């Protein structure tokens, strides 16, 4: 695997190294030793799949507070998504900054999302499937979220948003929850 760290410390884009022959190709998609060598937490507590029927669908911006903060390894296995992560670590020099990465069935790229980051994506093609390998169990009383269109974040989605869950539409503006987010996301 090829690990490329983004401007957000600890967040990596992972590209596969294909070994091709007449059958097709083989590539490693996860290796505990390689993750450890890059200072990443190589734990998978859950593996999830999301199927999205319509392009324009938006999922996010989701996170879990410590002590149940999650890492995620996200890959689009069919179709295409624009994945966006936001740094919610108050002590980080990139606090509230974000990156976006296009993950597609063609590029077979993955995004490693560190703990204490918000994560969401928009579907770019109909009938898109996404897998998430998550480093912590889903903990409903630790979950949180940010508005996908919060003006303070300035996230840019490439398509008009066509479908958003009711839950995701009800997240409060960052201006009203930022003090709590900072307090609950603080390290140590």
Catalytic residue (choose from 98, 121, 132, 138): 132
Q: Radius of gyration of the chain from Cα atoms?
A: 16
Buried b / exposed e over 32-41, threshold 16 CB at 10 Å, is eeebeeeebb
Distance of alpha carbon 13 from alpha carbon 2, whole angstroms = 8
Six-digit token string for 89: 């670590």
Catalytic residue (choose from 51, 62, 98, 119): 62
The gap from C-alpha 52 to its chain's centroid, in whole angstroms, comes to 16
Those residues with Cβ within 8 angstroms of residue 161's Cβ, 6 or more apart along the chain or in another chain: 56, 58, 122, 148, 149
Tell me how many degrees the CA angle 114-92-84 measures, rounded to the nearest 5. Answer: 45
Phi, psi of 74, rounded to the nearest 5 degrees = -110, 135
CB atoms near residue 81 (< 10 Å) = 28
Tell me if residue 62 is catalytic.
yes
Tell me if residue 119 is catalytic.
no
Tell me how many degrees the CA angle 18-43-139 measures, rounded to the nearest 5. Answer: 125
Catalytic residues: 62, 132
């Amino acid at each position: 695997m090829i690990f490329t760290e983004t401007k957000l410390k600890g967040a990596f884009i992972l590209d596969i190294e294909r070994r091709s022959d007449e059958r097709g190709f083989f590539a490693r998609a996860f290796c505990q030793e390689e993750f450890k060598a890059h200072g990443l937490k190589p734990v998978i507590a859950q593996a999830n799949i999301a199927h999205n029927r319509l392009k324009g669908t938006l999922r996010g911006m989701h996170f879990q507070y410590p002590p149940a903060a999650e890492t995620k390894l996200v890959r689009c296995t069919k179709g295409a998504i624009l994945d966006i992560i936001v740094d919610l670590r108050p002590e980080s020099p990139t606090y509230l900054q974000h990156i976006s990465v296009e993950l597609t069935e063609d590029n077979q790229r993955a995004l490693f999302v560190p703990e204490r980051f918000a994560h969401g994506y928009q579907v770019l093609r109909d009938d898109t499937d996404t897998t998430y390998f998550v480093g912590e169990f889903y903990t409903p009383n630790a979950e949180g979220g940010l508005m996908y269109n919060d003006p303070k974040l300035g996230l840019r989605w490439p398509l008009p948003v066509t479908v958003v869950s009711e839950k995701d539409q009800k997240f409060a503006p960052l201006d009203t929850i930022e003090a709590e987010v900072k307090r609950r996301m603080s390290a140590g």
